[in-house]
Amino acid sequence: MHVWTRAALVAGSLFSPLLAQGEESEPVKTESGLIQGMSDAKATVYKGIPFAAPPVGDMRWRAPRPMASWSGVIRADAFKPMCMTAQPAIPGGPMEKVSEDCLYLNIWTPAQRSKARLPVMVWIYGGAMRAGSGSSPVYWGDRLVEKGVITVNLSYRVGSFGFLSHPDLSRESGQGTSGNYGIMDMIAALKWVQRNISAFGGDPHNVTIFGQSAGSLGVAYLMTSPLARGLFHRAIGQSNADMGPVGAGMMLPEQAEASGVRLAAEFDAGSIADLRQIPADKILAADSRWPADAEGKVKPGTLAVRDGHVFPAVMYDTFRAGEQNDVPILIGYNANEGGYLLGEPLKAGAYIESVQQEYRQLAGRVLKLYPASSDEVAARSQLRLLRDNWFGWHVWTWARLQSRTGQGQVYFYNFSYVPNYPPRSPLVALGAAHGFELGNVFANTELLPKTATAKDLHVLQTISTYWTNFAKTGNPNGPGLPRWPVFTEREQHVMNLGDPIVAGDIAQADLRGLELQDAHTMELRSAGESTRHH
């Protein structure tokens, strides 16, 4: 049983009861037709609003196209299936229905319409760009609307359905490139928000994108794509970015196309037209083996392609040049990101060998900071190294580059809070693991343990208020909250979302680890540049 599943059983369900159906709301006029949601005393929810045409049949592996108009009223009272995936939206959680026809969004508004246009928060789900759902109860916006914002949960294609590249696709695209359909789905949804959200009481000039894990990656990607310019005004990223050199994160077009050719060969598909005829479930069955290199090794990292269209450059180069979509950002990561992600740790000897292989000349420094004097010590070091390598360095670099080249201010956090779990809960050992801030962000009290204290509830309300304050003004601060200082490259202030919630500087031990990862990545980048120029 997955550790997150065990946690859910012990700490209380991850999946809160369905929002009461309530009463039918007044229809809202969108560009394509009328939508009717359902209201209860606190919120009105519109489930399953189409923001683009279904990407099925000949539309598979194409940029999203506008939704056709409809007559009458669509009753938006049921969530739509999530995009094609073999994984649940939440690790260890239940599996939702899946479909290629998945480009829908969900909207939560206050039950009572405000005369003023409300700030809009658009959620981008995580799932390693291979899974995820915009309708998982963990991400519902019914609590955030009570804090004076409208929330939108978009859906986007994942895995090979969202990111496949192939020479035939590149030729038919009109740009000479292919892939990145999942990112284009995000952009299409944001364009829909710009054109339609005012009808729901939202302010199209005050849109915040926010996401966790691969959703945070999506947020950072949207900051680097010229196609997303002007579609949002603030950004919140929780636990991910892609600041590595090309090939380590984004794929090069030739790599991506070659991998797409190998996928087509698995089905003896002589053309993209043939591949589009393959049933979606068969494509999905091969998805876990894609993208792969010539030796069949599955590529780690992200699935995005530096295609020259959606992404003219990799994220690091875009931010370093000051060419990002420049908005205020609130970003950070968790104290024990490795948590359940690490799996079975390596024994000390194997760990030392892996460090020497990956870090080469820097291995001695790495082993001094992340030691392996025993198997137990090595296990703890691997947790810290995974956190700093996979998550911390990328987010810290995002913060530094934005503060260096952008005008939008940076607010940086470290989440370490552990609520009052029952003594035998497996969550006690996991601490502030990957994704464990989500209940606080969405003010979801169902995610608190049954043994929760007043302090746990206070932390939840404080964090969700920071997030919604930032969405309203670009500044998380407000009455009654501990002051959150601005992060700059010179003054690297961090808000410690722990016990207590207090601002400070990045801890020296953490900073040494981040700087060591920075040195390692600079070596990788230099080696890559040298390879490309010879």
The one-digit pLDDT tens for each residue of the chain (534 residues) are: 233 433 343 333 343 334 445 788 889 999 999 999 999 888 999 999 999 999 999 999 999 999 999 999 999 999 999 999 999 988 888 899 999 999 999 999 998 887 889 999 999 999 999 999 999 999 999 999 999 999 999 999 999 999 999 999 999 999 899 999 999 999 999 999 999 999 999 999 999 999 999 999 999 999 999 999 999 999 999 999 999 887 678 999 999 999 999 999 999 998 999 999 999 999 999 998 899 877 778 887 789 999 999 999 999 999 999 999 999 999 999 999 988 888 899 999 999 999 999 999 999 999 999 999 999 999 999 999 999 999 999 999 999 999 999 999 999 999 999 999 998 898 888 999 999 999 999 999 998 999 999 999 999 999 999 999 999 999 999 999 999 999 999 999 999 999 999 999 999 989 999 999 999 999 888 876 533 433
Q: Dihedrals φ, ψ of 289, to 5°? A: -100, 15
Separation of alpha carbons 337 and 321, rounded Å: 30
**CA 116-200-435 angle, 5° bins:** 100
Residue with tokens 């296990």, as numbered in its chain: 379
Is 213 a known active-site residue?
Answer: yes
Separation of alpha carbons 342 and 190, rounded Å: 34
Classified as helix, coil or strand, 3 is: helix
Pairing, β 329-334 against β 234-238? parallel
Q: Dihedrals φ, ψ of 73, to 5°? A: -120, 125
Separation of alpha carbons 380 and 299, rounded Å: 27
Predicted confidence at residue 292, as pLDDT, reads 84
Separation of alpha carbons 69 and 66, rounded Å: 9
Pairing, β 202-212 against β 234-238? parallel
Predicted confidence at residue 113, as pLDDT, reads 81
Separation of alpha carbons 188 and 66, rounded Å: 8
**CA 159-52-228 angle, 5° bins:** 75
Q: Which listed residue (100, 257, 337, 437) is catalytic? A: 337
What Cα–Cα distance (Å) separates residue 519 from each residue in 7, 46, 283, 338, 403? 37, 48, 40, 21, 20
Give this prediction's pTM. 0.94
Given a contact cutoff of 8 angstroms between Cβ atoms, the answer to whether 306 and 314 are in contact is: yes
Overall domain count for the chain: 1
Separation of alpha carbons 201 and 252, rounded Å: 42
What Cα–Cα distance (Å) separates residue 454 from each residue in 32, 420, 457? 46, 10, 5
Residue with tokens 């450059």, as numbered in its chain: 313
Q: Which residue, 264, 315, 319, is CA-closest to 286?
A: 264
Predicted confidence at residue 306, as pLDDT, reads 95
Is 344 a known active-site residue?
Answer: no
Beta partners for residue 413, in sequence order: 332, 495
Q: Which listed residue (136, 213, 216, 239) is catalytic? A: 213
Which CATH number belongs to the domain containing residue 477 in this structure? 3.40.50.1820
Given a contact cutoff of 8 angstroms between Cβ atoms, the answer to whether 331 and 412 are in contact is: yes
Total count of residues recorded for the chain:
534
Classified as helix, coil or strand, 2 is: coil
Beta partners for residue 305, in sequence order: 251
Separation of alpha carbons 204 and 190, rounded Å: 10
Separation of alpha carbons 497 and 499, rounded Å: 7
Q: Return left, alpha or beta for 92; rule: phi > 0 is left, psi -120 to 50 is alpha, else beta.
A: left
Half-sphere exposure of 121 (CA within 13 A, CB side): 33
SS (H, E, C) 255-286: HHHHHHHHHHHHCCCCCHHHHHCCCHHHHHHH
Distance of CA 356 to the CA centre of its chain: 31
Q: Which listed residue (434, 437, 464, 520) is catalytic? A: 434
Domain that holds residue 453: 3-532
- b (16+ CB within 10 A) / e for 174-192: eeebbbbbbbbbbbbbbbb
**CA 311-312-318 angle, 5° bins:** 90
Residues whose CB is less than 8 angstroms from the CB of residue 181 and which lie 6 or more positions away in sequence, other chains included: 55, 61, 62, 63, 64, 157, 161, 162, 163, 164
Cis peptide before 291 (omega within 30 of 0): yes
Is 493 a known active-site residue?
Answer: no
